[in-house]
Chain A
Amino acid sequence: MKEYIQGKAYVVGDNIDTDQIIPANYLVYSLSDPDERKYYGRYALSSVPEKEAGLPKGNIPFVKAGKDSSEFSIIIAGKNFGCGSSREHAPVALQIAGVEAVIAESYARIFYRNSVDGGFFIPFETPIRLIDQIATGDELRLDISSATLLNISSGKEYKLKSLGEIYGILEAGDIFEYARRSGLIKAG
């Protein structure tokens, strides 16, 4: 696992559900075919209503038209990020688009599990409402082991919640490696 993640912020509100993260009509594409896989990056967060896309101003697409990845690598979100469907295509779409960390006030259960068990990105929780303090496009630097976030653009620093019990899985890389290390999968 990296020590630091540095990149631009993309800010969204509360209850961003998996249909907004990746609309269901794109789920027909293969996640294992390299050409089809790109579509998940292209359409990541494409169903977020325009005025709520890239707060506080809005009308900032997460992925520019014709691109397969985003210039934003850290998502700042409100409450209940990833609610709705269990589709793992949602965290995978964010990963393919280039997301390395999501920092939300809270997560929906299945999305959080999927992000951790698949090792797609690091889901941090924040005790304060960062979506009111960080603007889309701000340059951020995330220190993973100390769970602190520096907004380079504003100079402000924030303490995030510790990763706690999921740290072991994130450090292993995914749930398979974690299960191997725990002796639940025998080396074959």
Chain B
Amino acid sequence: MGMTITEKILTKHSGKRAVSPGDNIWVDVDILMTHDVCGPGTIDIFKKNFGNNARVWNREGTVIIPDHYIFTKDQHAGRNIEILRGFAKEQDLPYFYDVGTSRYRGVCHVALAQEGHTRPGEVLFGTDSHTCTAGAFGEFATGIGNTDAALIMGIGKLWVKVPPTIRYVFDGEVPPYIMAKDMILTIIGKIGVEGANYMTMEFAGDGVYALSMDERMTLCNMVIEAGAKNGVISPDKKTISYVVSHTKKSFEIVENDHDARFRDITYFKSNELVPMVAKPHSPDNTAPARDLNTTKLDRCYIGSCTGGKLDDFKAAARILKGNKVVTDTYIVPATVEVADSLKKERLDNMTLLEIFTNAGARIGDPSCAACLGGPVDTFGRLNNDEVCLSTTNRNFPGRMGSKGSQVYLASPYTVAASALTGKITDPRDFL
């Protein structure tokens, strides 16, 4: 019987000959990623269970990327970075991207790819729910808690319940005003926030393969918002070209068997997609942007692992170029590499950074920033009852700070267009 990509990767990492959805298996882990919010707790549990002198199972496989609470005066946040620093030194970890040094990178899910830690066919666990982003590279990647991460640190293994796969096929290239964010919001709006609970969401079709790696990452990034265990896209030439230009390590391409069994297959006609928005306070509370054109905004936010990659800013720049924002607009590049690119990438005769600055947007330093609220001095945090349109991933009550605020989620095109009008705006009005 044929297997899916996820089943084949888990089979190979469990030493079994085959696995089926529902099987509970122990798998060997290739990469464990943690950051400043969950790293200290993980380290504490690791030492409690394996001893104060314990060594991590694999130095090369333990990647620590502080990114959440970086540019804050909060003393406790600073203390957490110190704990990571001490641990990385003690364990002699080669992949610790320390704050305040040239090693600092920014948002972990984007940095993992840029540093070559995402590779087809591998198993990646991270102490962050958006670890599923890396499925864009044809690997099994999912989020876990501190306890599971501490167990991996000690033995390099974790138990996994094999998920069934649902396939989402986009027929035809998507129209130029549609971004991956619109595609995933369309799916989540259709299936609901637990529509893929415990499952793998696989994205396929020429509409998906035409997307850049940045855009594929956006698709996989938000599968957790439908409750999925992981998202995955079968590797193609684009995947391989990205990965070999970011790592020298070898990897193995894993594809679906021709007779792989899927729980379900849903087809979308790409040319029927419209710019979508998720209304407060749930990512499945969706509506077409055009239907919300009377919703007034106090703030626009472009950033995070979901919407702060280079392609997100290229899209925003197309709309903001030569215009002025009428809403407070915050721009937060996900990583240092993205921030540097804003200074180099040009649209016609201007850099993206010049376009944003001239438009009147505020530019922040690379980190998770206000996507998840954070300490009160976090750049872009909603501290009152603001109405915000954001390229981030969640709009739960209080997610971006104050419980009284309201967050709408949309693509960088839609957020940029709305920044120019002060109301939720369909980007087709500007493209």
Contacts and interface: CB of A to CB of B under 8 A. Distances in A.
A31 B41 contact: yes
Contacts of A128: none
A36 B77 CA distance: 13
Contacts of A188: 50-51
B193 to A, nearest CB: 6
Nearest to A31: B41
A114 B142 CA distance: 13
Interface string A86-126: 11110100000000000000101110011001100000000
A184 B129 contact: no
A84 B259 CA distance: 33
B151 A175 contact: yes
A110 B143 contact: yes
Contacts of A80: 193-194, 197, 227
Contacts of B144: 86, 110, 113-114
B398 A20 contact: yes
Interface string B137-157: 000001111111001001101
Contact of A19 (B143, B145, B198, B372): B372
A30 interface: yes
A20 B397 CA distance: 7
B403 A114 contact: no
Interface residues of B, number: 56
A165 interface: yes
Residue of A31, A85, A184, A188 ringed by the most chain B CB atoms within 10 A: A85
B128 interface: yes
A4 interface: no
B313 interface: no
Contacts of B375: 25, 28
Given A19-B372, A84-B129, A109-B229, A31 B154 contact: no
B220 to A, nearest CB: 15
B76 A29 contact: yes
Most chain B CB within a 10 A radius of its CB, from A80, A86, A165: A86
Interface in B1-60: 24, 26, 37-38, 40-41, 44, 49-51
A37 to B, nearest CB: 11
B195 to A, nearest CB: 10
Given A47-B403, A114-B148, A118-B147, A28 B69 contact: yes
Contact of B194 (A28, A79, A174, A175): A79
Nearest to A36: B76
Contact of B38 (A49, A79, A88, A118): A88
Contacts of A184: 26, 155, 157
Interface string A39-72: 0000000011100000000000000000000000
13 contacts: A19-B394, A20-B396, A24-B37, A28-B375, A31-B40, A84-B224, A86-B128, A86-B143, A106-B194, A117-B145, A117-B148, A175-B148, A184-B26
Given A19-B373, A30-B76, A113-B144, 8 more contacts: A19-B398, A27-B68, A28-B80, A32-B44, A80-B193, A84-B129, A88-B127, A106-B194
Interface of B: 24, 26, 37-38, 40-41, 44, 49-51, 68-69, 74, 76-77, 79-80, 126-129, 131, 142-148, 151, 154-155, 157, 159, 161, 193-194, 197-198, 224, 227-229, 282, 372-376, 394, 396-399, 401, 403
Interface of A: 15, 17, 19-20, 23-25, 27-32, 36, 47-49, 79-80, 83-89, 91, 106, 108-110, 113-114, 117-118, 165, 174-176, 179, 184-185, 188
